[in-house]
Amino acid sequence: MVTGTAGTAGTVGATGSVGERVVVFGAYGHTGRFVVDHLRERGFVPVLSGRDADKLRELAASTPGDEVRPAPVDDAAALDRALAGAAAVINCAGPFATTAAPVIEAALRAGVPYVDVAAEIEANVDTFARFADRARAAGAVVVPAMAFYGGLGDLLATAALGDRTAADGIDIAYGLSGWHPTAGTRAAGEVSHRRRAGRGVRYAGGRLQYHDDAPATVRWAFPEPMGERAVVGDFTMADAVTIPSHVSVPAVHSYMTVEAAGDLAAPDTPSPAAVDERGRSGQSFLVDVTVRLGDDRRRAVARGQDIYAVTAPLAVEAVHRILTGRTRTVGVASAGEIFDARDFLGALSGHLAVDFECGPGPAAPQVPAAAR
């Protein structure tokens, strides 16, 4: 067994991106506030935008000097004004089924890169389907799901694959200590639930499949000290869109600790509460990714605190790399396709602990056939 950590990467200041304006659409939301703060820490100038002018002004009052540019998503002219003179836009405003397309359209008109933090499976599918050809033809960069769900799992799987572009299967186990969802998470979940007509979804047979099977609870052997835990099988997240967008793989299965799944399902679970000076909650997470290649297993594990807070360095690092030319393609692309995955993860060393293993590794739990 070989264990290693991700590499290192430079800072904004080292490559001359200090002072560039980045629009944050949905800046007043829970994740948006983390993104605004992290942009400022990295030397960018955040521009506050979103649909609610009053909430934007309230946010600006707490951070004097930030420019406010309200923009309803159904007002193209207002979106154009919001992006005028900016270097990039980060969309943090869900549900992304409503906001992604209009903000991407505005980014294409402005000629600036677009990054979002969408966890909605269908919204991410829409982005790839609707904008892939146009963005590629324009030489534009659109990176959806650049967040804890979608982006991080994709980076871990891609880094574990190394120079391979195919796998026999990929399993992602989310070891969350709990999950206090934001209002935005609940709203996005309701939209996805309606779009699926209440059905479940999984990536199997090389495609997304919708089903009525009841979720199965199985056991997953997380690395110590977490150890073996009960998890909900086929708890499918945005990784089922991002990973297959550039990796040839017949199945991507996800698992979620039962405690976190229960929190999310309960209507009275409160929103996240800050426990430190950075505004993070006390939630801890472990993301355990296993890539299956024949009889071999490659494993990548990330540990950290607060799934919403860690989304900010993921999104901001993506913008930094796009603006400094550290990308591998253009068009609509997921994190693992457009960035050097190991190097990217190394740049997040202040926010994530990442380890890699090569060897037999853990086998995926046996989920009953009806739930696969």
Cα 220 to Cα 233: distance, rounded to the nearest angstrom? 10
What pLDDT does 308 receive? 98
Number of domains comprising the chain: 2
Nearest one of 171, 161, 97 to 129, comparing CA atoms:
97
Tell me if 272 sits within 8 A of 283, measured CB to CB: yes
Report which DSSP code applies to 248.
B
Give me the pLDDT at residue 362, please: 54
pLDDT value at position 17? 65
Residue numbers of the domain that contains 271? 151-306+349-358
Please give the average per-residue pLDDT across 243-265, as a whole number: 98
Residue 369 located in a structural domain: no
CATH of the domain at 76: 3.40.50.720
Do 281 and 325 have their domain in common? no
- Quick one: 179 and 290 in the same domain? yes
Give kind and range of the element (H or E) at residue 187: helix 183-195
- Split at pLDDT 50, 70, 90, the class of 359 is low
3-state SS assignment for residue 56: helix
Amino acid at 22: V
Question: What is the rounded average pLDDT of the residues 291-302?
Answer: 95
* Exposure string over 211-233, b if 16+ CB within 10 A, otherwise e: eebeebebebebeeebeebebbb
Distance of CA 244 to the CA centre of its chain: 15
Closest Cα to residue 321, out of 298, 289, 344, 342?
344
Give the span between the Cα atoms of 309 and 286, in whole angstroms.
14
322 and 173 in a single domain? The answer is no
Q: 300 falls in which pLDDT band (50, 70, 90)?
A: very high
C-alpha span between 289 and 322 (Å, rounded): 26
The pLDDT of residue 349 is above 80: yes
CA–CA dist 361, 14 (Å, integer): 38
Residue 358: pLDDT over 80 = no
Q: What is the pLDDT of residue 65?
A: 83
Residue 1 clears pLDDT 70, i.e. is over it: no
Checking if the pLDDT of 20 tops 60, the result is yes
User: For residue 143, what are the β-bridge partners?
Assistant: 115
Please indicate, yes or no, if residue 13 is contained in any of the structural domains.
no
Of 56, 64, 67, nearest in space to 33 by CA: 56
Query: What are residue 209's DSSP bridge partners?
Result: 202
Q: Secondary structure of 59-87 in the HEC alphabet?
A: HHHHCCCCEEEECCCCCHHHHHHHHCCCC
What is the predicted pLDDT for the residue at 365? 63
The first and second tokens of residue 185, run together, are 């998470």
In this predicted structure, what is the pLDDT of residue 364? 59
**Do residues 85 and 186 share a domain?**
no
Residue 12 has a pLDDT of 35
Q: How far apart are CA 138 and CA 51, in angstroms?
A: 27
Query: What is the pLDDT of the chain when averaged over all its residues?
Result: 92
Pairing of strands 21-25, 45-50: parallel
Q: How far apart are CA 34 and CA 36, in angstroms?
A: 6
Residues 104 and 155 in one domain: no
User: Is residue 204 within 8 Å of 372, Cβ to Cβ?
Assistant: yes
The secondary structure of 8-53 as a DSSP string is ----HHHHT-TT-EEEEETTTSHHHHHHHHHHHHTT-EEEEEES-H
Tell me what pLDDT residue 11 has: 35
Based on the fold, state whether residues 89 and 159 are members of the same structural domain: no
pLDDT more than 70, % of the chain:
91
Rg value, the chain, Cα: 19
Average pLDDT of span 123-146 = 98
| Cis ω for the linkage preceding 267 (within 30 of 0) | no
Predicted confidence band of residue 63 (pLDDT cuts 50, 70, 90):
confident
Q: Report the residue count for the chain.
A: 372
H helix or E strand, kind and range, residue 176: strand 169-176
Assign 360 a pLDDT band (cuts: 50, 70, 90).
low
Any domain includes 161: yes
Handedness of CA 232, 236, 238, 239 (dihedral sign): positive
pLDDT above 70 (res 6): no
Taking residues 73-88, what's their average pLDDT? 98
Instruction: Please name the helix (run of DSSP H) or strand (run of DSSP E) that holds residue 309, with its range, or none.
Output: helix 307-323
- Mean of the pLDDT values across residues 341-359? 93
Q: Are residues 330 and 279 in the same domain?
A: no
Tell me, yes or no, whether 167 and 59 share the same domain.
no
Identify the sign of the CA torsion 253, 287, 301, 13. positive
Domain match, 198 and 235 both: yes
Using the predicted structure, report yes or no on whether residue 299 has a pLDDT greater than 60: yes
Q: Give domain status of residue 57, yes or no.
A: yes
164 & 285 share domain: yes
Residues 129, 113 share a domain: yes
